[in-house]
């Protein structure tokens, strides 16, 4: 359907995913900033392995990242975000004691609305979806 719409209207889907590392502040507080840095690096490696050079990947806060995916509708964004969530869960970050730490991420997904095609609208909707994911218990992907 997205390809047909693009052919007929010239509109190409664009989606955003906002990721937030769950309880990241606790990693820094309980295990130190070096472990927090390992968590950030591990997540950045997952993002780099999963997204294309044409996708915009950026850290926008302490533990928050955004990915803008050109040519992807909301369902595609949800699928990819869930893959990222799963890949992070499989990775091992260790405390200084050697204890493995379980790192999870929540994500909010949104597709650019052709009737309101602004960056602010896209990010606002993705942020609302992220809030819903965190409120629903974290370690999940929600689309709005």
Question: Which of 6, 63, 75, 111 is the catalytic position?
Answer: 63
SS3 letters across 89-106: HHCCEECCCCCEECCCEE
Which strand (E) or helix (H) includes residue 67? strand 64-70
**Residues 6+ away with beta carbon under 8 Å from 9:** 114
Name residues whose C-beta falls within 8 Å of residue 25's C-beta, 6 or more positions apart in sequence.
62, 63
Known active-site residue 63: yes
Positions annotated as catalytic residues are 63
């Amino acid at each position: 359907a997205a390809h047909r719409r693009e052919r007929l209207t010239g509109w190409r889907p664009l989606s955003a995913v906002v990721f937030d590392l769950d309880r990241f502040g606790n990693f820094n507080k309980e295990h130190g900033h070096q472990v927090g840095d390992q968590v950030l690096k591990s997540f950045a490696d997952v993002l780099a392995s999963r997204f294309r050079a044409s996708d915009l990947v950026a850290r926008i806060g302490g533990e928050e990242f955004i990915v803008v995916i050109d040519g992807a509708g909301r369902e595609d964004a949800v699928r990819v975000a869930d893959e990222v969530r799963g890949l992070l869960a499989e990775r091992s970050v260790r405390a200084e004691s050697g204890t493995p730490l379980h790192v999870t991420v929540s994500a909010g997904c949104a597709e650019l609305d052709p009737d309101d095609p602004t960056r602010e609208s896209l990010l606002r909707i993705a942020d609302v979806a992220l809030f819903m994911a965190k409120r629903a218990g974290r370690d999940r992907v929600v689309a709005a």
